[in-house]
Chains A and B, each alone.
Chain A
Amino acid sequence: MIRFKNYVRAESLEEAYNLNQKKSSVIGAGMMWLKVQNRIKMTLVDLSGLGLDGIEETDEEFVIGAMCTLRQLEIHKGLDGYFPGLFKECTRSIIGVQFRNGATVGGSIFGRFGFSDILTCMLALDTYVEFYKGGIIPLEEFCSQKFNRDILVSIRIKKDGRRAYYASSRMTKTDFPLIACCVSAADDTYYVSVGARPARAELAVISRKEEADVKKLAALAAERFRYGTNFRGSAEYRKHLTEVYVKRLFMALNQEEG
């Protein structure tokens, strides 16, 4: 369990940023994953007083505050209206409602955890992350960066007309995913995101023109990722599941188009 000496509820992003420049400081978001880590820190910087816990919808995008909880993401009517069932599907298996009332979107995205359903889902959408000092960058670019000491302010999902579906496999209902897949489509392009391989989610962009048969296209998509083995499943099994789920998601998208 994490231990720390000083708790500071930041009163401004500038204060949070300055406090977080010390290696002995850590940002406290939902405190779900952080709490179970065996770390000793001098200062925990709490962002809960900065008003970063809302979801704002504009004509161009959704702006999700870093301290917005997974439950808010799950039940937000605007998000569900634009991406029907997507966020419900990617959050519903994460432990229980009490957990999702605490875990934050910012914590999930900033941590870039290998098991993250949220990262997998958002990576397949036109998503950007906004940092206090670093500005706005695409989520895919952030995923390839090293950890920094900036403050994640918001996650922005553009309304670019993508439709998306999500699927995951778990050994038990509320366990970490064995594999997590999200596919979105816009025009002639599929955006395929696969997480829990068991590494950090990655994105593959595939043209529909590459292959007309969805089964073969799904196999092509699955080839784009590297898989690993752990006690939940082997690399071969994960790859096989990816082919199956991606094919199903392609079919769901095609069916929607009619």
Chain B
Amino acid sequence: MQIEFTLNGRLIYEETRDDETLFHLLRRKGCYSVKCGCETENCGLCTVLVNGVSRLSCSYLAARADGCDIVTLEGIQKEAEEFGSFLSAEGAEQCGFCSPGLIMNVLAMEKELDSYEEEKVKEYLAGNLCRCSGYMGQLRAVNKYLSRGENRNEC
């Protein structure tokens, strides 16, 4: 079937199989930041923004993306680089496989939440699994990233 959607700001017309997932479609379109870790909707590696909302592309039908605005890490390089610098400063990355999904969800969280208490942040990011970092470095990076505005004001 033929679908039409916006991918990282570009209008795309694409032929897709009826039961193809958005994850496979995005990989076909060259969005290699979108990764598949579990395929059981647990790991959060395949997180993308669909109409501004974080979704698991491994369980989202490509057919449903018709008319939607899809954003992957490739479409938000500037924001991703900024948060990425906090991750590297905290030594929060090892293999880096989970980072694109985490970054997408952190950016979605930043837009959605109005305050960032630690428990709220942990709860929001519970769907992003990491097998090697132990989460502490990531959490430090997320907290520092979210409070960067306050630090600027202090300076």
Closest residue on chain B to residue A1 by CB atoms: B39
Measured between beta carbons, the chain B residues less than 8 angstroms from A31 are 59-61
In contact, B126 and A174 (Cβ under 8 angstroms): yes
In contact, A7 and B128 (Cβ under 8 angstroms): no
Measured between beta carbons, the chain A residues less than 8 angstroms from B61 are 7, 28, 31, 44, 46
In contact, A98 and B105 (Cβ under 8 angstroms): yes
**Contact flags A177-221 to B (C-beta < 8 A → 1, else 0):** 000000000000000000000000000000000000000000000
Q: A98-B54, A98-B105, A102-B56 are in contact. Are A35 and B41 (CB under 8 A)?
A: yes
A28 CA to B56 CA, complexed, in Å = 16
A228 CA to B41 CA, complexed, in Å = 26
Which of A89-97, A132-140, A244-252 is near enough to bind chain B?
A: A89-97
Measured between beta carbons, the chain A residues less than 8 angstroms from B59 are 30-32, 35, 102
**Contact flags B13-54 to A (C-beta < 8 A → 1, else 0):** 000001101000000000000000001111010010000011
Measured between beta carbons, the chain A residues less than 8 angstroms from B18 are 4-7, 44
Measured between beta carbons, the chain A residues less than 8 angstroms from B64 are 9, 46, 48
A46 CA to B41 CA, complexed, in Å = 19
In contact, A92 and B39 (Cβ under 8 angstroms): no
Q: A4-B18, A7-B18 are in contact. Are A99 and B127 (CB under 8 A)?
A: yes
In contact, B126 and A44 (Cβ under 8 angstroms): no
A96 CA to B128 CA, complexed, in Å = 7
The size class of the interface chain B forms with chain A is 20 to 34
Measured between beta carbons, the chain A residues less than 8 angstroms from B105 are 96-98
In contact, B40 and A98 (Cβ under 8 angstroms): no
Q: Tell me the number of A-to-B contacts counted with CB atoms below 8 Å.
A: 79
Q: A28-B61, A174-B42 are in contact. Are A98 and B19 (CB under 8 A)?
A: no
Residues of chain A at interface, number, CB under 8 A:
28
The answer to whether B73 has its CB under 8 Å from any CB of chain A is: no
A97 CA to B53 CA, complexed, in Å = 10
Measured between beta carbons, the chain A residues less than 8 angstroms from B125 are 96
In contact, B41 and A99 (Cβ under 8 angstroms): yes
Within 8 A of B (CB), among A1-48: 1-7, 9, 28, 30-32, 35-36, 44, 46, 48
A245 CA to B21 CA, complexed, in Å = 40
Measured between beta carbons, the chain A residues less than 8 angstroms from B55 are 98, 101-102
In contact, A36 and B40 (Cβ under 8 angstroms): yes
Question: Which 8 A/B pairs are nearest by Cβ-Cβ distance?
Answer: A96-B127, A7-B18, A7-B63, A98-B54, A35-B59, A98-B56, A96-B126, A4-B19
For this complex, 17 residue pairs linking A to B, each with C-beta atoms less than 8 Å apart, are A3-B19, A4-B19, A5-B18, A5-B19, A7-B18, A35-B41, A35-B59, A36-B40, A36-B41, A93-B126, A96-B44, A96-B128, A98-B44, A99-B41, A99-B56, A99-B127, A102-B56
